[in-house]
Structure 1
């Protein structure tokens, strides 16, 4: 059952390609951006490292502004390959020495899918926040979620991640994060 348990001291948040020119074309893009904001604030409140990738930023732009302004402490990587598991990113993840990676981003059936597959191959536990990833079409999204589940990723959602990391109510973190969810 350890595969399904998230603990803040074991977790990393990896945000994949939530970029200015891509997100307007993504189905439910605004909701995906909103849920990423919740997960960013959760990670910041719990000292969970945040990594961000941007696919060909010259063409697709940088991370959307409403998230980018919250990512001052995040480590950012520019990429041209679809998987976020470049040697540079994998080296950074390995240096953090945490084995559970929470994944968000776009597109679910391309960069997210390939990243999940590569992280699983490397022996990481992968948690895909299904309400914080997206594709242009519902069909591609549905296919990607099914494939990632079959490969062994834990398919979850923003609220489940937040509450699993919190573990208990009544804490200052709980009070802060509940304001974001309501």
Structure 2
């Protein structure tokens, strides 16, 4: 494995930002690749990981039924006015308030989850990669209406430089010592992850 490959797969918890894209009830209920309740639980577990390691989390929403979307109920304990961004543009990296928030965090690794894989997740990943971020996508925290298209866009993200991984793998990399906090919390998240 080259040094570049080692850097690509390495993850430092002091350098990560968790991004939750378009995880809204009215949207995820259409998910076929990840059952909606499992997607909600796994993304809530990912938010718990972010909280346990004191890493920032950003929540992106889109219009739903002609009004601003809200994060899933299981995410609302982590989302607030300062870390939730409503947008009407598909690519979050074309939204000034989002790019400013990311710049202010001064971290270079994005962990991206959301719905749908084809729009919210992929465009966030590609935008991040274009801006020089390292990108990780836990596949069990992503949903889509189609396995066929989800498979293609995850391959596209990987080919562009994103690391496709799992909730359990990321969680264990971020807090590998399960004998004390935050590892104890991480172990609980891993144990409760749904496939």
| TM-score where L is the length of structure 1 | 0.93
Unpaired runs of at least 5, structure 2: 1-5
**CA-CA distance at 1:51 after TM superposition:** 0.2
Q: Distance in 2 between matches of 1:47 and 1:73?
A: 18
Within a 5 Å distance, the mapping from 1:43-54 to structure 2 comes to 43-54=50-61
- Mapped pair 1:8 → 2:13: yes
Once the two structures are superposed, residues 82-114 of structure 1 have per-residue CA deviations (whole angstroms, 9 ceiling, x without a partner) of 112222111110111100000000110112111
Q: Distance in 2 between matches of 1:133 and 1:125?
A: 18
Runs (4+) of structure 1 exceeding 2 A deviation are: 57-61, 69-74
- Mapped pair 1:164 → 2:169: no
Counterpart in 2 of 1:144?
153
Within a 5 Å distance, the mapping from 1:44-123 to structure 2 comes to 44-57=51-64, 58-59=66-67, 61-72=69-80, 75-85=83-93, 86-123=95-132
Once the two structures are superposed, residues 7-49 of structure 1 have per-residue CA deviations (whole angstroms, 9 ceiling, x without a partner) of 1100000000001210110122222211111110110011100
**CA-CA distance at 1:177 after TM superposition:** 2.4
Q: Distance in 1 between matches of 2:185 and 2:170?
A: 15
Q: Distance in 1 between matches of 2:101 and 2:80?
A: 17
Aligned residues: 182
RMSD, matched Cα: 1.6
Conservation of the 8 A alpha-carbon contact between 2:176 and 2:183: no
